[in-house]
Chain A
Amino acid sequence: MSGAHWGVIGILALAAFSIRVLGLIAGGRIRASRHAWVLDDLPGLIVVSLVAASLAGQPLQTWVAAGAALGAAVLTNHVIATMVVGVVAFAGLAVVGL
């Protein structure tokens, strides 16, 4: 494992635990502040941006597979089911040459 791998694990672990400690120390005050909406909105917006970054510039096959995964996500709201449908759709479209 390279130093970069160690760096990702170490920084992520430190940041994740710091956030929990922040919740323990000041969670009540933060939740009551006028900026609390940022905590609510930020995770969803990051994930949407991650999806968009994954799809930007990709071929039609990827967008169609993403549509299938989105359909599965809406219907099931289940991570594994969505991943299975998405990967199967992606591989299936590759097989048929789309």
Chain B
Amino acid sequence: MKHGAIAILPLALGAAIYGFAFGLLAAQVGFPWWGVGLMSATVHSGSSQIVAVEQFASTQTVVGAALAGAALNLRYIGIVASLSDVLAGLSLKTKLLAIHITGDENWALTMAERAKSPDVGAAFLMGSGLVMITVWTASTTAGAVVGAVIPDLERFGIGFAFTAAFIAMARGLWRGRPQLFPCVVAAAATIAVVSLGLPKAYAIVAGTISGLAMSLILRRASGAVA
């Protein structure tokens, strides 16, 4: 466990900076510092949290904001599924703890280290995961504490930080040219729905469904989906 906890430290530093920035933004839109900490400890997913907080701030819809954030977490179905060998033999309680403290960074590090040495397993995953969730919770809380005592940052354009974060996430999720048309269709549909005067929450759903439809059409045309 100690091996994983030490190996993850450089990645944890990067997460701490991102976490501090998220906490700052969350406080600016009305989340108290302890609420931010609670969210980080119980959700443990940066992209989901930033999407949910931004959607809640802009639309005030509770379920819509939470589900939009949760949808970003669908990749964890595959991530957790890939851990079946690593988690084999653990009790159910330990497995549930392990999957909660698993994030993108410690999962990727565990898989990379395991490819080099089969001895790397659940202890490494959990050691690195415990460091990551601790750093994430502490850094987001610290950001929220600072964000609550500084003046309104909106006039300095801090609200645009959410948009910039989404752009960075889109870049991180980019998997190449086959995604281009679905993304263009999703963006065009979203803008069209907003232009019609409908709420942005609906526009995002319409854009996402339109993009999925285009992706299905392209996959059927290429024979990838029956």
A-to-B contact residues, CB < 8 Å: 1, 4-9, 11-13, 15-17, 19-24, 27-28, 30-31, 34, 37-57, 62, 65-66, 69-70, 72-74, 77-83, 85-87, 90-91, 94
Contact = CB atoms under 8 A, between A and B. Distances in A.
A22 B96 CA distance: 11
B68 interface: yes
Nearest to B41: A13
Nearest to A9: B39
Given A9-B38, A37-B219, A44-B179, A79 B168 contact: yes
Contact of A86 (B48, B65, B164): B164
Interface residues of B, number: 95
A86 B186 contact: no
Contacts of B175: 40, 44
Contacts of A73: 167-168, 170-171
A15 B212 contact: no
Interface string B159-185: 011111111111111110001001100
A78 B200 CA distance: 27
A47 B130 CA distance: 28
A15 B160 contact: no
Given A9-B35, A28-B81, A47 B66 contact: no
Interface string B172-207: 111100010011001111110011000010011101
A-B pairs, top 9 by smallest CB distance, nearest first, are A27-B81, A86-B164, A23-B80, A49-B207, A15-B70, A56-B194, A11-B66, A82-B168, A73-B171
Contact of A49 (B32, B164, B186): B186
Given A8-B52, A8-B65, A46 B225 contact: no
Contact of B226 (A28, A34, A39): A34
Given A9-B42, A12-B43, A62-B160, A47 B169 contact: yes
